[in-house]
Amino acid sequence: MQVTSSVREPLITGGKTLKDVTHDISRQVEGKPSMLWLLALLVSVGALALGFIALAATLWEGIGMWGLNKTIGWAWDITNFVWWVGIGHAGTLISAVLLLFRQKWRMAINRAAEAMTIFAVICAAMFPIIHMGRPWLGAYWALPLPNTFGSLWVNFNSPLLWDVFAISTYFSVSLVFWYIALIPDFATIRDRATGLRKVIYSGLAFGWDGAAKTWSRFETVSLILAGLATPLVLSVHTIVSFDFATSVIPGWHTTIFPPYFVAGAIFSGFAMVLTLMIVTRKVFKLEDYITIGHIELMNIVIIITGSIVGIAYITEFFIAWYSGVEAEQYAFVNRAFGPYWWAYWAMMTCNVISPQLFWFKKIRTSIVLTFILSLVVNIGMWFERFVIIVTSLHRDFLPSSWAMFYPTWADVGVYLFTFGLFFTLFFLFAKFFPVINMFEIKSIIKSSSTKEAK
Amino acid sequence: MKENKKTYWKGLEELTNQPEFVKNAEREFPEAPSVLGGEEGASRRDFLKLMGFSLAAASLAACEAPVRKAIPYVNKPVDVNPSIPNYYASTFASGGDYASIVVKTREGRPIKIDGNELSPINGKGVNAIVEASVLSLYDKQRLKGPHIDGELTDWSTLDSQLKSALGSAGSVKIVTNTILSPSTQKALDKFAESVGGEIITYDPVSNYGILKAAETSYGVSGLPTYKFDNAKVIVSFGADFLGTWISPTEFARQYVKGRKITKENPNMSRHFQFESNLSLTGANADYRTPIKPSQSGLAVLALYNALARKGGAATVSGASVEIANIDQAANELWSNRGNSIVVSGSNDPNVQIVINAINDLLGNNGKTVDFSKPSYFRKGDDEKMNKFVTDLKAGRVGGVVFYNCNPVYDFAKGADVEEGISKAKVSVSTNSTMDETASLVKFVAPDHHYLESWNDFNPRSGEYSLSQPTISPLFDTRQAQESFLVWAGESSNYFDFLKDNWSESLMGTQSEISDSQEFWDRSLYNGVYSDGSESEEVSGSVDVSAAATAIGRSYKADNAGAELSIYTKVGIGSGTYANNPWLQEMSDPISKATWDNYLTVSQKWAKDNNVKMVEGATKKAKITVGDKSLVVPVLVQPGQADGTFGLALGYGRTKAGRVANGVGVNAYELLDLSKGFVNYDITEGVSVEITSDAYKIAQTQTHQTYMGRDFVIQEATLADYKKDASAGRYQPKIYKEGEFVKPSKVSLWKGHKYSQHHWGLAIDMNSCIGCGACTVACQVENNVAVVGKQEVLNRREMAWIRIDRYYSSPEGASSNSELEKAADNPEVTFQPMMCQHCNNAPCETVCPVAATTHSSEGLNQMTYNRCIGTRYCANNCPYKVRRFNWFKYHDNKDFSTVNVAQNDDLGKMVLNPDVTVRARGVIEKCSMCVQRIQLGKLTAKKEARKVQDGEINTACAAACPTDAIVFGDMNDPESKITKMLKIEENTTSAVKEVNEERAYHVLEEINVSPNVWYFTKIRNKEKSEA
């Protein structure tokens, strides 16, 4: 076990004891749902239901319900896909990479961040399926399954197929990792519960007995999974970026995409974690567990990744100019000054300029400002994907085919559907699962003796 | 009868009657368990099981696809073999619009129309209207039988009632469009004679001016025969001879003959165009000068005077007018005397007289403009028609018969005709739909569709052709000529009448065949016949001064008011076939707009009135001509002469049918008859006001220029080309290992090997005039869906081949925003664009399910069944030629009005059975007509020989009147394409070494290695300019 210097600021404030931790966190699971929670859930389910109309219309009538056209074959669908996948990066990064780096501050937020990852990936994974013209076939034809079509096989050259592998691997590993870590906490709840709840949580706890050997195995499995998950953090978005980087379209055909996408993903993931955490700590009164220190550290990650993304934007322009390729140069000039200039500048403002405000300690330790900026970053990251996809496609090589993209109600509705899905799942999680990793938190509470020494 | 006491038994068991046997006697298979029950009878469980099974079986059976009727022949017709097409020579004629054609039928259904190569007029080419006309056969809105007062009746009732009514009607007038058929004319004459009637001929798009001028100048009745191929200098005043004027397919063929250039023969004609609207012809001109209609007469006079001065002839007086390029045109015409041609699209006889005089001065008469062999494409007499309408309106006409014409819609005084019909005692129409005119008359005796009819044609002196039915009449219609014969009391049927007439008049003009039946069979097989008659000398002196005086009175050098020039569109023409969705959705070659007519305005006017078109969004304007006004959307048209406006005829139909009703506005109302002829140029009393109403015009292309991208469009002037055959070529080089090499030398790919065939296309941008016949041909051949105006607005038209039309940017434009703008009088380039069948295809690598793959013959193939519709291929296509089925376009009531060929049972008969109708959610694109390639290969295989060049042709290449698209096997050293491209040596490699300097790949630098080659556009100009 790693030893933390007693000089360090405590990660958990409020002089919590082990019992306090158990109580504070299990309380949410055991208590009656609050009005606020019910209201939030209602709104989410409402969004889900409303969005479902758009989704159903799309599936029933065809992709023509969206605003796509002969020139722009992807717009909101793949923008949303990449955006959600990006958001789904923070959880694994926090729990796996920070675990390997022994960053103990992660402990208060990793559970929720991982849940968010899983829900975001579910939302993301929906788009590659529903954006297909024939999802009822594509949903399984895109898998390398043995079939009765003779020697018909998937095309291993296609980045879309790589996506299938990348996303499904990432999703399974994240899910297993998340669930494994939930088991000891489920056991805690089980031990406190009675009646039906005891039965359910007994099932969820998989017969956890808390024996030393069990703990030892648990630690080993966690470490192995963390080791497995770490490369995935880098690989998933790298592969998603290949969808664009391997193409011939100016603005897509760019070797900078893999690192740039990964940085962007972490950037947006952290922003989304912040958004959710700030709300959760307030609603569930967990200010002592998710402290201003956590928020500040995450804001620092946002400054770094935001700056990387900013440099990537500028590099793209430089390379376009340096390449001497006319279509490439036009693609970038068109981004900044063409018909979609507003999307580009929205992206630049939100992603490059706004995170720089976090250099000021006042801003980065302000809950309200952090919350606002986290939203701004997520808006900016959505625009980043929109800019890459739509502004590159809408004016490519042959001016005769240049077109504009106008979203329809169904585009908006399907996006709303994913929001509804995400928040419904998240609120259900927040109510019925322990939102903070109890057993890990317990390892970083300062003992009564260190408290006295202070 | 004595009772039979014998016992018969089947086996010993039965005889001995053992208990075991008795028990099993009832059951044939005693060892098998019974379905219901067994020994204890049916148990409840068995019952439930059985019921469950039946329920499941019943529901499964209910899920089965509906039964589709496919009825085999009981007695197979001799010539009809399933899946083998038959071809019949025939003729398309609608009024004076004429084409000799070959009709492809499959299992007795005509499905495709091609040009007749034997025709000396249109050759193998046809235009979009002719291509699309096959769909009108299957129009379920055609009348299904004769009608009296709008009620369906039978022919005998109609005949008897009509005969008695006409007998007592008094003066009878028979109104018709131009009749090209001698037998029809004869039948009609007999009818007219029997009722004492008079035949009035008019044309919706009139060329009366030329007819009258020919009569005045030379005493010839008929249009001259034009020979653009013999002209080295072509001057046209507003005649859109490549698009819509008289016989455009024929002229396009001739025109391009004089403009195909090679390194060995780098000569081409020079073409000057003076016009108000940017026409297809103007877009192809080397020098185009925008002029106002009010100046056009003076411009012709100015040219005459310039030439007269050179030739020492007397000049005539006329207001002097400053028009660019007139002097240059005069100089070049003069130095090419006898090898030049001057034409005018004006319907003013005085202008045409001056044109005759000019051609006389230049010695073109008899060489490029031949009055001695007149053409009969237009016979309409505007003055006579005008008088008739006046009489009709005044109630002085007793009976009126409309033979396949629709003057209520397409005559300038349509409203008067409408009013007059009710005053006539008897009114008859032979129109095959309840159109604007037919719906007003008492008797409607619907004619067959032309594909159901027999007929003969005489489009030009000495040239004849036949049409024959290619299908039994679908409805209870009767050929109009037969109706006329019946009404005239003749007994013979029209087929015999026609046949007799044919051999009577033509048998004697040849000596080769002595048997009249054989002569008939040969003529019918060929479809065309030339009687070889020598043309007669025509002489006459043209009186210019009278014409010049008249011109001086009616034209002005500087008219300050607005002027309207009414024109016809290539796709819709006079509007007769407006109800054809293929034509409505065909994008206009110039404006790229579909499903509308609109007021074309100059860029300057648009700027002054603050109209900016973005993605088709525009405003409406109110145009007032005299006391009539129309509200039309505005389309900003580069090249439009400032101060002038253009508006197309053929729209605003009210009773054409579901497709065309309510599309656009009717411009016929604005035509002016005050000068005796139908005047398409309204120069007085025109005012245009912009309104605040927003409107969207559905265009298939909304970006006008090619942004100076020489990797897309490569062009040069003839002078430069003569110096260097690779002038205008953009030859990108890629740096590789210390040297700059061609992009094709750097590749990640191993490359394909094509050991058999290597199909490819060569497209000569100098020959492509942009007419769009190929786009409709492709639509017919490949069952391409029509998607309707809203979906075109959504930029989702399905065309597999499109013609990109680019305007040049203003001179000196360099920044992106300047390059986006079109010049006020731009140079125009047409670039047919279809799947490039790349050897390193970007679409093929990205499809996750390998639905698009490469063939062993160089084709990029699309497997619809495998496609899951990710659209990644379409995104990654640098040419943007892949089309996605956004909705289910077939069997879908949302598209039944527009996509008639895939939605109703009758319409579906036009579908090509060799090509799948694509399902919702899949990508489709040009297949290089793989079904035709396959057929050609199979035919060759059956005959145990190699495929010969020219045997297989794509639909686009076959339809092209100018041979701008050449299809062939690049592995065949003898093929036309190999020779055109000068392919170095016959290799099986996918990357061919091409030595033709003009040939290039669009986007060569990304090395997708297309199998489609383009030839640089060469303009016969001194220097390139905007």
Reported ipTM: 0.91
Q: Which residue has the higher pLDDT, B170 or B659?
A: B659
Contacts of A334 in chain B (CB under 8 A): 816
Indicate the pairing of strand B1017-1019 with strand B233-237: unpaired
| pLDDT at B751 exceeding the cut of 90 | no
**Inter-chain touch A399–B847, beta carbons under 8 Å:** no
- The domains located in chain B, with CATH, are 12-63 (no CATH), 147-206+380-526 (3.40.50.740), 208-375 (3.40.228.10), 560-699 (2.40.40.20), 715-1019 (3.30.70.20)
- Here the tokens at position A219 are 């630690």
Cα A428 from Cα A348, distance rounded (Å)? 35
CB-count exposure of residue B547 (10 Å: 0-12, 13-18, 19+): buried
Secondary structure class of A45 (helix, strand, coil): helix
Phi, psi of B735 (to 5 degrees): -80, 125
- Here the tokens at position B477 are 């219609």
Cα B969 from Cα B967, distance rounded (Å)? 7
CB atoms under 10 Å from CB of A27, counted, come to 11
Residue A454 confidence class, pLDDT cut points 50, 70, 90: very low
Secondary structure class of B397 (helix, strand, coil): coil
Q: Which residues of B728-748 are buried (b: 16+ CB within 10 A; e: fewer)?
A: bbeebeeeeeeeeebbbeeee
Q: Which residue has the higher pLDDT, B594 or A279?
A: B594
Tokens 């693609």 label which residue?
A331
* Number of CB pairs, chain A paired with chain B, less than 8 A apart: 175
Least confident range of A398-412, B483-497, B621-635, B1012-1026: B1012-1026
Secondary structure class of B925 (helix, strand, coil): coil
Q: State residue A47's pLDDT score.
A: 94
Residue B288 confidence class, pLDDT cut points 50, 70, 90: very high
CA dihedral B647, B649, B655, B656 (to 10 degrees): -120
CB atoms under 10 Å from CB of A381, counted, come to 27
Residue B64 confidence class, pLDDT cut points 50, 70, 90: low
Cα A357 from Cα A363, distance rounded (Å)? 7
Q: State residue B163's pLDDT score.
A: 86
Q: Hey, which residues does B98 pair with through a beta bridge?
A: B93
Helix H, strand E, coil C: the string for B623-660 is: EEECCEEEEEEEEECCCCCCCEEEEECCCCCCCCCCCC
The secondary structure element, H or E, covering residue A403 is none
Closest CB to A248 among B702, B795, B1006: B1006
Q: State residue A448's pLDDT score.
A: 45
Closest CB to B846 among A247, A325, A337: A247
Contacts of A128 in chain B (CB under 8 A): 870
- Sign, Cα dihedral of A163, B863, B964, B768: negative
| pLDDT at B923 exceeding the cut of 90 | yes
Provide the whole-model pTM: 0.89
pLDDT in tens, B19-29: 777 777 666 66
Q: State residue A404's pLDDT score.
A: 93
Q: Hey, which residues does B1006 pair with through a beta bridge?
A: none
Please indicate if any CB of chain B lies within 8 Å of the CB of A157: yes
Say how many CA atoms lie within 13 Å of B391 toward its Cβ.
16
Q: State residue B698's pLDDT score.
A: 94
pLDDT in tens, B808-836: 988 888 888 888 888 889 999 999 999 99
Closest listed residue to residue B917, CA positions, set B800, B782, B780: B782
- Here the tokens at position B57 are 């079986």
| pLDDT at B36 exceeding the cut of 60 | no
Closest CB to B888 among A62, A243, A397: A62
Closest listed residue to residue A397, CA positions, set B798, B885, B1001, B768: B1001
Q: Hey, which residues does B147 pair with through a beta bridge?
A: B152, B444
**Inter-chain touch A62–B805, beta carbons under 8 Å:** no
DSSP B210: H
| pLDDT at A1 exceeding the cut of 70 | no
Contact indicator for A305, A270 with CB cutoff of 8 Å: yes
| pLDDT at B311 exceeding the cut of 90 | no
Residue B150 confidence class, pLDDT cut points 50, 70, 90: confident
Secondary structure class of B928 (helix, strand, coil): coil
Contacts of A325 in chain B (CB under 8 A): 1005
Secondary structure class of B708 (helix, strand, coil): coil
CA angle B454, B460, B463 (to 5 degrees): 65
Q: Cα B711 from chain centroid?
A: 30
Helix H, strand E, coil C: the string for B839-871 is: CCCHHHHHCCCCCEEECCCCCEEECCCCCCCCC
A380-385 mean pLDDT: 92
**Interacting residues of A311 by C-beta distance below 8 A, sequence separation 6+:** none
- Here the tokens at position B895 are 């598209």
B676-703 mean pLDDT: 91
Cα B407 from Cα B418, distance rounded (Å)? 9
Please indicate if any CB of chain B lies within 8 Å of the CB of A4: no
Chain B: closest CA distance from residue A175 (Å): 26
- The domains located in chain A, with CATH, are 18-143+153-392+399-453 (1.20.1630.10)
Secondary structure class of B718 (helix, strand, coil): helix
Q: State residue A24's pLDDT score.
A: 78
- Sign, Cα dihedral of A278, A279, A280, A281: positive
The secondary structure element, H or E, covering residue A320 is helix A292-323
Q: State residue B27's pLDDT score.
A: 65
Cα B820 from Cα B706, distance rounded (Å)? 8
The residues in B 990-1019 lying below 8 A from A, measured between CB atoms, are 1002-1003, 1005-1006, 1008
Cα B210 from Cα B377, distance rounded (Å)? 12
Closest CB to A249 among B615, B702, B876: B876
CA dihedral B164, B167, B172, B174 (to 10 degrees): 50
Contacts of A164 in chain B (CB under 8 A): 848
Secondary structure class of B14 (helix, strand, coil): helix
Q: State residue A298's pLDDT score.
A: 87
**Inter-chain touch A401–B701, beta carbons under 8 Å:** yes
Please indicate if any CB of chain A lies within 8 Å of the CB of B861: no
Please indicate if any CB of chain B lies within 8 Å of the CB of A246: yes
B653-675 mean pLDDT: 90
Cα B459 from Cα A373, distance rounded (Å)? 78
Cα B539 from Cα B761, distance rounded (Å)? 48
Q: State residue A452's pLDDT score.
A: 40
Q: State residue A453's pLDDT score.
A: 40
Cα A369 from Cα A352, distance rounded (Å)? 16
Contact indicator for B841, B853 with CB cutoff of 8 Å: no
**Interacting residues of B1021 by C-beta distance below 8 A, sequence separation 6+:** B286, B287, B717, B718, B719
Cα B224 from Cα B359, distance rounded (Å)? 12
Closest listed residue to residue B1000, CA positions, set B831, B885, B869: B831
Q: State residue B747's pLDDT score.
A: 86
pLDDT in tens, B112-144: 999 999 988 888 889 899 999 999 999 989 999
Residue of A nearest to B882 (CA): A70
Least confident range of B54-63, B228-237, B374-383, B839-848: B54-63
Q: State residue A449's pLDDT score.
A: 44
Least confident range of B34-38, B573-577, B874-878, B938-942: B34-38
Q: State residue B714's pLDDT score.
A: 93
| pLDDT at B62 exceeding the cut of 80 | no
Closest listed residue to residue B963, CA positions, set B37, B124, B5: B124
Residue B1026 confidence class, pLDDT cut points 50, 70, 90: very low
Q: State residue B931's pLDDT score.
A: 94
Work out the mean pLDDT of chain B and round it to a whole number: 88
Q: State residue A127's pLDDT score.
A: 93
